[in-house]
Amino acid sequence: MQYKFYNGHMQTTAVPTAVASGTAIKTLLQFKPLIPAKIKSINISFDGLTSTTPGVVELIETDVAATVTAYVAADLTTLDAEALLLGDPTSSLISVGTSASGFTASAEGTTTAVRNLLTPVQLPNTGPFIFHWALGDEPVVQANKFCRIRVTFGTTVNILCGLTVAF
């Protein structure tokens, strides 16, 4: 079963809304699986017009939740037939709530342990970054841990990002 989600509610009558990074560390997306999940891909893009000092993008697993805007079932895109048959993934696969799965952290929490799922990447604020893991190389997010896309930029930039996950 595969799902895709990004750092916002599902766009319906309007385009996705980018999130301002600020200059401190910022969790853009947080995902809490109820059973182990594989990360299939990550994508992130920025609206910078000129390249300044690169920012750092992280994909981590941690044991502490950020406070986020909670996803609802409609925000999680089902990608394959098995996921479509299952129905609402928030009942058995993905925990949602302000201290579970969601986007745009208002508080980072005090992270006490981190496992890098992707080596932190320095990126200019002018271009996209898309990474797909090879079959069998996908990192696994442990059940009831928190997978986060975090960024730190020297100047504020607006960002869209997303994950594709499989169970």
Q: Write out pLDDT tens, residues 82-104.
A: 998 988 999 899 999 999 999 99
The contacts of residue 154 (CB under 8 Å, 6+ apart) are 23, 52, 53, 55
Contacts of 119 (CB under 8 A, 6+ apart): none
Answer yes or no: pTM beyond 0.95: no
Contact residues for 65 (Cβ-Cβ < 8 A; gap 6+): 30, 32, 99, 100, 109, 146
Q: Which two tokens stand for residue 27?
A: 């969790």
Is 51 a residue whose pLDDT tops 80? no
The confidence band for 151, taking pLDDT boundaries of 50, 70 and 90, is very high
Cα–Cα dist 124/9, whole Å: 26
pLDDT at 49: 82
Q: How confident is the model at residue 11 (pLDDT cuts 50, 70, 90)?
A: confident
